[in-house]
């Protein structure tokens, strides 16, 4: 079975976390992670351009086979939610333009896949990322969340494959 490389993205206008893992059978391995941080002082369009270019560089450098994006948490502030939606669009569009299948996962699904409960906090997610991917080293909350999205996608892929095999 060939290794599959998955890009996980945790979109945000200030901080977009990204993480790349490989999946070979049941084994998960860390490849790379980081955060794209456009400056708050830049015009909105410029910040989106920097997100687009940053995610493009990650895709070009790490050549993932698939991508997964965390769905946005609904904010009570409509203006903030709309701006976050633009950042999320960059996280969806860039991998799609590269020809990658892009999956989306709710935050509760991601947390449950990594921690075992959908109500986990960021510290619990980071703790489990350090256990699941020990070679990742220290991660920021945004990068840990992105790696968690990639792990949730790896688990969902495995479940889909098992279901497809049993149906065949």
Q: Is 83 left (phi over 0), alpha (psi -120 to 50) or beta?
A: alpha
CA atoms within 13 A on the CB side of 43: 3
Question: How many domains does one find in the chain?
Answer: 1
Distance CA 66, CA 115 (A): 22
77 confidence band (pLDDT: 50, 70, 90): confident
**Cβ atoms within 10 Å, residue 117:** 10
Distance CA 67, CA 50 (A): 19
Which one from 60, 66, 71, 142 is the annotated catalytic residue? 142
pLDDT tens-digit readout, 115-151? 998 889 989 999 999 999 999 999 999 999 999 999 9
| DSSP assignment letter at 136 | G
Backbone angles phi, psi at 92, to 5 degrees: -85, -40
Distance CA 135, CA 129 (A): 10
Q: Provide the residue count of the chain.
A: 168
Which one from 40, 53, 66, 70 is the annotated catalytic residue? 70
Q: Is 145 a catalytic residue?
A: no
Which CATH number fits the domain that encloses residue 107? Answer: 3.30.420.10
Q: Is 142 a catalytic residue?
A: yes
Percent of the chain with pLDDT over 70: 92
pLDDT of residue 151: 97
Domain that holds residue 111: 4-167
Longest dimension (CA), the chain: 55
Mean pLDDT of 74-103: 89
Query: What's the pTM?
Result: 0.92
């Amino acid at each position: 079975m060939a290794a599959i490389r998955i890009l996980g993205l945790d979109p945000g206008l200030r901080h977009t976390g990204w993480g790349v893992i490989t999946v070979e059978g049941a084994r998960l391995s860390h490849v790379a992670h980081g955060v794209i941080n456009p400056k708050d002082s830049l015009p909105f369009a410029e910040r989106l351009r920097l997100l687009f270019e940053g995610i493009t560089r990650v895709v070009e450098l790490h050549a993932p086979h698939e991508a997964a994006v965390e769905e946005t948490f609904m904010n009570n502030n409509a203006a903030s939610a709309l701006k976050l939606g633009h950042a999320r669009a960059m996280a969806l569009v860039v991998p799609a333009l590269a020809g990658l299948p892009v999956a989306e996962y709710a935050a509760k699904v991601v947390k449950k896949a990594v921690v075992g409960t959908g109500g986990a906090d960021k510290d619990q997610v980071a703790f489990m990322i350090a256990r699941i991917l020990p070679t990742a080293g220290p991660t920021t909350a945004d990068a840990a969340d992105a790696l968690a999205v990639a792990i949730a996608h790896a688990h969902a892929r495995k479940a889909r494959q098992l279901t497809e095999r049993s149906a065949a």
